[in-house]
A and B are shown apart, each in its own frame.
Chain A
């Protein structure tokens, strides 16, 4: 029995700061607004997407992104050029997301991945050309994985989103989370196990329901 176990991770890993980015950072840290605007444009997609994946809805993800860029602006002077800039930004993003999740817990809100119609639209938008059945299946799978991620503890959630969704290597995840690769591997292993269990359980339930 031949087994294909290769998995394709997204090709969006951290990259060393190139010269242009380093120059932008230096100028922005010196107070040049145009340079900071460029930095935001350069990193906005990563920040917003990671926030969305961590928080599960666009409204919170937008709020988080604003807060992230404010902190980047505020603390850019402390950034060392030997650091990876996106690892640093990812670290700030995760901190902001953690704060928002804590606020939610304090307000006794449950983490609901797609709480509003806005989120439904986000999912539906790229699927307009698909037939209705395919669209429904995708939406169902999307919701399933979103809820599965929501069941994870914060650290495991951060580790698996960075590793399996954002496509960072284990070492890069450890760098972002300021942890050791061994710890990250353990968190990722536990998170994958839980997600697989969650999906298996719910898919089985759905199959029983359909039968």
Chain B
């Protein structure tokens, strides 16, 4: 054990707070090292100063004064209501009104929400199952016939008239807008070459692509 290690252990060596083995090593070192013995003496002097560090005995008056002040403060504090009681007393009527107001607001908000959501459902039905305004196709010679329909929610659509459609293998894709729905003639197949004539009394197959790409409504209608 070198001097540095011993110096680090000396504060605890003084008060026998070291393990036996360490204490023995320190003792052995101290017997052969005058420098560390000096450090030990300095610690002992500091320790003695610490033990002498005491105030002069306080007189009985000091203790009496402390106890009297304690009782005075206990009486004062027990006389005035506790902070929680004070707050509760101060705010109790207001809290009742606040609670009533909150309940009313909750009911009102709930009612508005229900009313709004019901309207939304209704409008959603209109959008999802529109009764399309069918522009009956003009007869084209030897060509496909298609019907472009616009959804019932025409207010949202800036251009309710038929929009140009893109043909791709006999099917139409909607280039824009949620409200624009497309109905396709049932025999619009190039392979058949048939033409739709609404006036002939043959059923018309209607396909409507909703805003959800996974939902397409198909129905057959008997033209008048």
Q: How far is the CA of A122 from the CA of B59 in the complex (A)?
A: 10
Whether B50 lies near A62 (C-beta < 8 A) is no
Q: How far is the CA of A45 from the CA of B43 in the complex (A)?
A: 28
Chain A residues closer than 8 Å to B40, beta-carbon distance: 3, 5
The residue in chain A whose Cβ has the minimal distance to the Cβ of B69 is A66
Q: How far is the CA of A138 from the CA of B69 in the complex (A)?
A: 33
Chain B residues closer than 8 Å to A196, beta-carbon distance: 11, 39, 42-43, 46
B25 CB to nearest A CB, Å? 14
A73, A122, A189: residue with the most chain B Cβ atoms closer than 10 Å: A189
Whether B27 lies near A3 (C-beta < 8 A) is yes
Q: How far is the CA of A129 from the CA of B52 in the complex (A)?
A: 18
A69-B70, A188-B12 known; A49-B49 Cβ under 8 A = no
| A100 touches B (CB below 8 Å) | no
| B51 touches A (CB below 8 Å) | yes
A5-B40, A49-B55, A70-B73 known; A170-B17 Cβ under 8 A = yes
| A126 touches B (CB below 8 Å) | yes
Interfacial residues of chain A within 120-152, with CB under 8 A of chain B in the complex? 122-123, 125-126, 138, 141-142, 144-146, 148-149
A73-B70, A122-B56, A188-B12 known; A145-B50 Cβ under 8 A = yes
The residue in chain A whose Cβ has the minimal distance to the Cβ of B49 is A145
* B residues contacting the other copy or chain, number (CB 8 A): 41
Chain-B contact segment, one of A19-27, A36-44, A80-88: A36-44
Chain A residues closer than 8 Å to B74, beta-carbon distance: 70, 73
Whether B12 lies near A189 (C-beta < 8 A) is yes
State the majority secondary structure of interface residues on B: helix
Chain A residues closer than 8 Å to B11, beta-carbon distance: 188-190, 192-193, 196
| B96 touches A (CB below 8 Å) | no
The residue in chain B whose Cβ has the minimal distance to the Cβ of A199 is B46
The residue in chain B whose Cβ has the minimal distance to the Cβ of A146 is B53
B175 CB to nearest A CB, Å? 71
A37-B67, A62-B66, A192-B46 known; A8-B12 Cβ under 8 A = no
| B65 touches A (CB below 8 Å) | yes
Whether B15 lies near A163 (C-beta < 8 A) is yes
| B54 touches A (CB below 8 Å) | yes
Interfacial residues of chain B within 1-41, with CB under 8 A of chain A in the complex? 8, 11-15, 17, 27, 30-31, 34, 37, 39-40
Q: Lowest 8 A-B CB distances belong to which pairs? A: A192-B11, A145-B49, A189-B11, A196-B46, A69-B70, A125-B56, A164-B50, A122-B56
User: Assuming A48-B62, A142-B53, A165-B54, what are 12 further A-B pairs, CB within 8 angstroms?
Assistant: A1-B30, A8-B51, A45-B63, A66-B69, A73-B70, A142-B52, A145-B46, A146-B53, A148-B49, A189-B17, A195-B46, A195-B50
Interface residues of B (CB under 8 A from A): 8, 11-15, 17, 27, 30-31, 34, 37, 39-40, 42-47, 49-58, 62-63, 65-67, 69-71, 73-74, 77
Interface CB pairs A-B, < 8 A, 10: A1-B34, A3-B27, A7-B47, A62-B66, A70-B73, A73-B70, A142-B53, A160-B50, A164-B51, A192-B46
Interface residues of A (CB under 8 A from B): 1, 3, 5, 7-10, 33, 37, 40-41, 44-45, 48-49, 52-53, 58, 61-62, 65-66, 69-70, 73, 122-123, 125-126, 138, 141-142, 144-146, 148-149, 160, 163-165, 170, 185, 188-190, 192-193, 195-196, 199-200
